[in-house]
Amino acid sequence: MSLRIALLGLLAASGPASGYDLTKKFETSLAYVWQAGHSQIYPELAKMAADGLVSVEAEGTRGRKTYTITPEGEAELHQWMVERDPVVPLRSESALQAFMVPLLEPDEAIAVLERMRAGSQARLAQLEALRETKTAAARLAEAEGRHPDAFGRYALDLGIRHARTAVEWASDSIADIRRRT
Amino acid sequence: MSLRIALLGLLAASGPASGYDLTKKFETSLAYVWQAGHSQIYPELAKMAADGLVSVEAEGTRGRKTYTITPEGEAELHQWMVERDPVVPLRSESALQAFMVPLLEPDEAIAVLERMRAGSQARLAQLEALRETKTAAARLAEAEGRHPDAFGRYALDLGIRHARTAVEWASDSIADIRRRT
DNA sequence: AGGTGACATGTAAGAAGTGACATGTCAATG
DNA sequence: CATTGACATGTCACTTCTTACATGTCACCT
């Protein structure tokens, strides 16, 4: 279901696109909220076309198929956005690792937490760079009178805040372990 | 793989347990980092027994099977904990919803964000209550000379921080939308 | 004695996701 | 003109996860 919604969202926000385009967008912009490879995307688009949520607008060169969201697709997306309960069924390998940190000896635990901190810091840097790019593009758009692309803005902010939180948490946890030993 | 690790972690931290016990522990203590139902747990324990990571210690009444972690299981768990790179392959429906919030009209967007804030606030309250319970138990243990159970402590702290971050993010995003309209 | 509810373990169909394999086009570079 | 690399789409086997079905025990209450 979520993959379907993500694809509808991309089509709604950026207009008609091919499976290839959408795969790229998953890698570049959607990667930190949802992941999917082309082997999942192509069959899903075919199913969505069969269900009338998207239509094949044109078949271009190199077998390229351009998908467009239909009114039914827009309705489906809108309904999901508005009615969907914000369940948070977290399934995070990192959190699982964090959970079990107390099983380790203090020095090993600190080593693990330090790698986690480095990972979160790297992620933070990457997301902040992405935001830089986006705000620059938004400024340019505004200067030229076009309305800037806000798609993904709030999620990016959330990702940055989460990463910052994770860095602080790792530092504090390391300090906590040192204090206890 | 992760389900396996989670089960090994529970057996390592709390000692021998049945599939039923482990299912309960998934619900009560591990729920905010990993989820699994009994229909996934029972077959996995059987496979782990076949792989020598756990052994069936005893078959009690009502068909109860008590599993114990083996030295091989402990080694597997330890290796995963220490070597595992902190990849964060996030796949969050909430974040996906957040991503697409800009597609909605301002009033709808605010309604969605308000529900998200309420959800995060509820989660925060729940995790804080859990921490209260745990610290009370830890104080009692310390008073009695037993060493307190730290398993899950850091992950719980991380969960609380993430929930707090999400609440703040929702509030700020709502304010941002209001400012822009 | 009968009913309820926690205890206890399974199976099985189907959806979702992963990683590898397979095929072919087109443009640019050397 | 040959090779490289981005473009472009697909399948398949396998693992993981979800939901529902299925079965039976034991303690306690009325």
Look at residue A69 and give its three-state secondary structure.
Answer: strand
Residue A90's pLDDT is: 80
Higher confidence at residue A35 or residue B57?
Answer: A35
Contact B99 A152 (CB under 8 A): yes
Residue A128's pLDDT is: 97
Look at residue A152 and give its three-state secondary structure.
Answer: coil
Highest mean pLDDT among B41-50, B58-67, B79-88, B136-145: B41-50
- For the segment A7-34, the average pLDDT, to the nearest whole number, is 96
Which tens digits make up the pLDDT trace of B75-118?
999 999 999 987 766 799 999 999 999 999 999 999 999 999 99
Residue A171's pLDDT is: 98
CB interface of A with B, residues 1-40, below 8 Å: 2, 5-6, 9, 12-13, 30, 32-35
A74 CA, D9 C1': Å apart: 25
Share of residues in chain A with pLDDT > 90 (%): 90
Share of residues in chain B with pLDDT > 90 (%): 90
CB interface of B with A, residues 141-160, below 8 Å: 150-155, 157-159
- How far apart, in whole angstroms, are the C-alpha atoms of residue A146 and residue A178? 54
B20 CA, C6 C1': Å apart: 11
Instruction: State the nearest Cα–Cα gap between A62 and chain B, in angstroms.
Output: 31
Higher confidence at residue B61 or residue A68?
Answer: A68
Residue keyed to tokens 């700020």: B172
Give Cβ neighbours of residue B62 (< 8 Å, ≥ 6 apart): none
**Beta A54-59 vs A65-69: how paired, if at all?**
antiparallel
Closest by alpha carbon to B174, among B98, B94, B122, B119? Answer: B98
Q: What are phi and psi of B161, to 5 degrees?
A: -65, -40
Instruction: Please report, for chain A, the start and end positions of each structural domain, with discontinuous segments joined by +.
Output: 2-83, 93-180
Q: What are phi and psi of A174, to 5 degrees?
A: -60, -45
Q: Is B99:A9 a contact under the CB 8 Å cutoff?
A: yes
Q: Which range has the worst mean pLDDT, A13-27, A28-42, A82-96, A122-136? A: A82-96
pLDDT band at A89 (very low <50, low <70, confident <90, very high): low
Q: What is the 3-state secondary structure (H, E, C) of B60-93?
A: CHHHCEEEEECHHHHHHHHHHHHHCCCCCCCCCH
- Which CATH code, of 3.40.50.2300, 1.10.3720.10, 1.10.10.10, 3.40.50.720, is assigned to A2-83? 1.10.10.10
